[in-house]
Structure 1
Amino acid sequence: MFLGEISPTAFRGALGSGTSIFLTVGILSGQVMGLDEVLGQEEFWPYLLSTTCIPAILQLLILPWFPESPRYLFIDKGDEEGCKKALRQLHGLADCDSSLEDIQKEKSNLAGFRAKKPWELFTDRSVRWQLLTIIVINMAQQLNGVNAMYFYADYVFLQSGIPIEKTPYATVGTGACECFTALTCGLLIECLGRKVLITGGYILMSICCILFTLTLAFQNVSPVFPYLSVACVFAFVLSFGLGPGGVTNILNNELFTQNARPAAFMIAGTVNWLSFFLVGLFFPFIVIGLQHYCFLVFFVVCSSVAVYILLVVPETKNKTFVEIQNEFKSSRNSSTSDGSGTTLLSTCL
C-alpha cells in the first residue's frame, strides 16, 4: 500500500511489482540456503532460521528515514507542506508538481468523506464491484493451485528419473523460474497493462492444469509423459509469476481511493491468508479423494477468474485513482441500464 501511494502514476505498476519480485528473490534465497551444501543440514538449522533477522534489522535501520505517504499527509492529515516535502524527497523537483496536482484532485473528489472501516465497505454500494474484485483475486491467488503444484513437484521430479537427493535442486529451479517471471512482469506491466498480464496468466494456468492432469494420468503409458509433467510444473509456475503473482497486489492498491484503501487492504489480506489456511487444511483430503484429478478443481478456479477479470475489471495502466474509480462507476451505471439479466446480476452482487 505504501509503495502504491508514493509511486508516480506512470511507474505505479513497475514499483508495485517490486513486492512480488523481492518476495520471489527471498523464496529463491531460502531454497538455496536450504540446500545441504549451504545451511540445509540439521546442525545448521538454527543459523538458517536466524537469517530472517537480516531483512528485519535492515528495515528497522532504513524505514525511519522514509517520509510518510504524501497522499496520507495531504488527504487524511491536511498537511500540504509535509506532502510537498515528502514528494520532493521521493520524486525530486521535476515530478513534484504533477504528483501534487493528482493528489489535490483526489482530495477534491473525496471532500466530505472520512476514512472507512473494513466492515463499512460491505455496505457501500459505490465500491461493491471493487470489493468483490479484490475478494475474488485474493482468493484465487491461493486457490489457483500453485501451492498444490509445489506439493506435487517432488513426486513429478522423482517420476521423471531425478534421484531423490537431487530433487531439491529441481525445486530451486522452480523458485528461479518464479523469480524470473516476477521480474519479467515488472518489466512488462507498464507496457502491456495489468489486465492482459493477469488474465493471460490465469488462462495459461488453466491450460497447464488440463495438461498436467493428462500427463499424470498417463505416467505409465510412455517414458515421455513424466518429462511432460516436469514441463507442466515449470510452465504453471511461470504462468503464475507472470500474471497473478505480480499483478494481484497492484490491483489491491489501484481499485480504491484514499478513504477506502486501508480498509480494502485489511479485507484483501484477511481473504488471502484465510484462503491459504483453507488450502493447507483441505488439500490433503482433496488429493486423497481425487488424486491427480484435483487439478481439474484448480482449472475451474483459474478459468472462472480469467473470465471474471476479462468482463468486470477495467485496465488501470496510467490512470489516476480517481479515474479508475470513475470508470467503475460508469461501468456500473451502464450495467444497470442494460438488459434484465445484467441488472439482476448487478443487484445480487
Structure 2
Amino acid sequence: MPSHSNGPRGSIASDDSQAPLIEADDAQRRRVMPSLSIHILSIALCLSSGFQQGYIASVLNQPYAQIEQFINSSWIERTGHPISDSTLHLLWSLLNVCFPIATIFGQFLAGWMCSQFGRKHTALIASFLYIPGALLCAAAKWCFPAFELLFVGRIIWSLANGVNTVNATVWIVECAPPQIRGRMAAMQEFFMALGSLLTQAVGVPFSTDELWPYNFLPNCAVVVVSMVMFSWVAESPQFIMEKYNDVDRARKALAQYHGVSEDDPSVESEIRICEQSIGKNKEKKKTAGGIESEHSGMEIMFMPWRAKDQTSRLIRYCAWVGVMVKIAYVFTGARSLRGYSTFILYTLSHFTYSQATWLSFATGLLRLPFTLVPVFLVDRLGRRPLIIVSMLVSFVSILVMIIAININGELKYATFIGLTVLLLVNTCGIGSVSRFYAAELVPRNLLLSSVSTLTMFEALTKIGVEFAFYPTANVIGAQSLLLFLIPTGVFTVMCYLMCPETSRMTVNEVLNNVAAKKKMDVVFPM
C-alpha cells in the first residue's frame, strides 16, 4: 500500500501504518454534525453578544434627530440658552463612542470574570446588566432634563457587552469541534444584523419626539430569553479543568457539546489540549500545545526584545495578524457607517427624513440574509478569500459614495447603493470572519488573555474613528469618508500578503503552516 501525505496540514507525511488513521480522521472531519447543546450555546452566545452589539450600535441611528433635540431642550431648560451646533455634535459623538469606550473596560473585566466565575456565570451576570442599561436610556426622556441618563445607561449596557464579546469568542472556541467552529462563530454576524434590524424596525414608528425612548425597551425580552438558554448548557470544559481539575466532568461536557460518546477520540484529543494549556505537566513551562518556552504569554505578545526565540516570534506574528484583521474591519467603515446610515442618507445625501429612515431599515433587512452566507460557507470557502474579496469591494463602495455625495444629491441613490453594498459585503466577509479569526491563530492557553487584548485594540481604533467621523462629516461632507477609503486600500494589500487560511484546522496546524511559509524551524505537536 503506498504511503499517504494527505494528513492535517502542518504535520509530517504519514507512513503506511498511519494511512488508515488519516483516512479515518478525514472521514470524521466530513461527518461532524452540530449537536443540540452546541446549537443552544451558540444561539445563547449570539443573543448575548452579537445581537446586543448590533442593537447598541444601531439604537441611536434612526431617532438621532429627536435625541439631539432632546439634549438641546435639556440644555435650554438648565441654562436658558441653546447649545451650540459644534458642542451638540461633539456630545452626540461622545454618546456614540461611549459604546466602544465602555466595551474596552468590559473586555479587560472579562478575563478576570471568566477565570473567577467561569464562562457560564460570567454570561449570566453580564447579560443581567443589559436590563438596567436599557431602562436607564429610556428613563432619560421621562426624567427630563436628565439627558445624562442616556450616557450612564449606554455605558452600563456597553460594559456588559464588552464582557460578553470576549466570553462568547472564548467559550465557542473551547467547545465547538474545529470542523464546524467557523460556522458556529459566524452566526454572531447574523444575530448582530438581527439586533440592528430590530432597532430599525422599531425606529420607523418610534422616531418621534415623544416615542423615541421605546426604541430601547424590546431588548429586555431578548436578554431574558438568552439567560434562560444559558441555564441549560454545561460549563466550558476548559474552565472545569482549570478550576476543579475534574477530568470526568470536563469529558462529559465536551461529549455533550460535540454530540459524541465520552470515549470518542475527539473528546480525548480536546482533553489533552486542555491539560497542556493549563500546564498540567509541571516539569516544563509551556506556551502552547506542548511547545517549551521560557516566556509568558504577555512577554511573547508585547516584549519582542525579550521573547526572541522562533516559537515566540511565530506566536507573536499570528497574534498581531489577528489584530490587523480586526482593525482592518473597523477601517472599512461598515461598523461606523451602519450606526450613522440615517445621517448619511438624510444630511449628506439629501433624502427626506422619512425616506432616510425607511432606506436605513431596508438596508438592515437586506443584511439579514447576507449574514447567512458565512454561516454556511465560511468553512467551505475559507477565511482568507472572504477577507480579501470583502476588503476590495469595500474600497470600491466607499469610492462610489464619495463621488455620489460630492455631486450634491444628483446621484443620491448611488450613495444608498454604495452604502448598502459596503454593509452587505462586510456582513458576509471580514465583518463576520474578524469575530473569531484572531482566536484561531493563538494557542489555547493564551486564548482568554489574547482575545481580551486583541479586542481592546479593535475598540480603541473604533473609538478614534467614530469620534472623528460625525463632527468631521458635518464640516467637510463626503471627504470625511477618506478616513475609511485610504486605510482600506492599505489593509487590503496587507491582508493579501499576511493572512493565513485557518478553515477546518486546529491552531497547531495553522501555526505549522505559517512556520513553513516563513521558513521558521518550529513544529507544533499534532
What TM-score do the two structures reach when normalised by structure 1?
0.83
Rounded to whole Å, the distance in 1 between the matches of 2:300 and 2:231 is: 32
Q: Percent identity?
A: 20
Give the conservation status (yes or no) of the 8 Å contact 2:237–2:253: yes
Count of matched residue positions in the alignment of Structure 1 and Structure 2: 331
* Structure 1 residues 85 and 42: alpha-carbon distance in aligned structure 2, compared to 1, 3 A threshold: farther
Residue 169 (structure 1) aligns with? 358
Give the conservation status (yes or no) of the 8 Å contact 1:197–1:242: yes
Rounded to whole Å, the distance in 1 between the matches of 2:521 and 2:429 is: 27
* Structure 1 residues 271 and 96: alpha-carbon distance in aligned structure 2, compared to 1, 3 A threshold: farther
Alignment of 1:283-298 (within 5 A): 283-287=469-473, 290-298=476-484
Give the conservation status (yes or no) of the 8 Å contact 1:121–1:260: no
Residue 269 (structure 2) aligns with? 102
Alignment of 1:228-307 (within 5 A): 228-287=414-473, 290-307=476-493
Amino acid at match of 1:17: A
The alpha-carbon deviation at position 53 of structure 1 amounts to 1.9
Alignment of 1:33-182 (within 5 A): 33-36=202-205, 39-74=206-241, 78-93=245-260, 97-104=264-271, 106-107=273-274, 110=277, 112-113=285-286, 121-123=301-303, 124-150=312-338, 151=340, 153-156=342-345, 162-182=351-371
Amino acid at match of 2:352: P
* Structure 1 residues 105 and 87: alpha-carbon distance in aligned structure 2, compared to 1, 3 A threshold: closer
Amino acid at match of 1:15: M
Alignment of 1:188-227 (within 5 A): 188-219=377-408, 223=410, 225-227=411-413
* Structure 1 residues 159 and 260: alpha-carbon distance in aligned structure 2, compared to 1, 3 A threshold: closer
Rounded to whole Å, the distance in 2 between the matches of 1:63 and 1:152 is: 33
Rounded to whole Å, the distance in 2 between the matches of 1:35 and 1:23 is: 19
The alpha-carbon deviation at position 268 of structure 1 amounts to 1.9
Say whether 1:14 aligns with 2:200. Answer: no
Write the deviation string for residues 170-216 of structure 1: whole angstroms up to 9, x where unpaired.
10112123222212221221211111111111111011122222222
Rounded to whole Å, the distance in 2 between the matches of 1:284 and 1:155 is: 10
Write the deviation string for residues 13-64 of structure 1: whole angstroms up to 9, x where unpaired.
110011111111011011111221xx44444444432322223222332213
The alpha-carbon deviation at position 161 of structure 1 amounts to 7.2
Write the deviation string for residues 53-107 of structure 1: whole angstroms up to 9, x where unpaired.
2232223322133112234445786432112210222222269724324314535
Q: Which runs of 5+ in 2 are unaligned?
A: 1-169, 289-295, 304-311
The alpha-carbon deviation at position 319 of structure 1 amounts to 0.3
Amino acid at match of 1:240: N
Give the conservation status (yes or no) of the 8 Å contact 1:178–1:238: yes
Match of 2:179, SS state, is: helix
Amino acid at match of 1:66: V
What TM-score do the two structures reach when normalised by structure 2?
0.57
Give the conservation status (yes or no) of the 8 Å contact 1:102–1:320: no
Rounded to whole Å, the distance in 1 between the matches of 2:430 and 2:192 is: 14
* Structure 1 residues 107 and 48: alpha-carbon distance in aligned structure 2, compared to 1, 3 A threshold: closer
**What is the aligned-residue RMSD (CA, Å)?**
2.9
Match of 1:249, SS state, is: coil
201-210 or 171-180: which moved more?
171-180
* Structure 1 residues 163 and 285: alpha-carbon distance in aligned structure 2, compared to 1, 3 A threshold: closer
* Structure 1 residues 168 and 12: alpha-carbon distance in aligned structure 2, compared to 1, 3 A threshold: same
Amino acid at match of 1:143: F
Give the conservation status (yes or no) of the 8 Å contact 2:251–2:271: no
The alpha-carbon deviation at position 285 of structure 1 amounts to 4.8
Rounded to whole Å, the distance in 2 between the matches of 1:215 and 1:47 is: 34
Tell which has more relative contact order, 1 or 2 (C-alpha 8 A, sep 6+): 1
Amino acid at match of 2:362: G
Residue 341 (structure 1) aligns with? none
Give the conservation status (yes or no) of the 8 Å contact 1:109–1:322: no
* Structure 1 residues 288 and 314: alpha-carbon distance in aligned structure 2, compared to 1, 3 A threshold: same
The alpha-carbon deviation at position 113 of structure 1 amounts to 2.6
Residue 347 (structure 1) aligns with? none
Give the conservation status (yes or no) of the 8 Å contact 1:4–1:12: yes
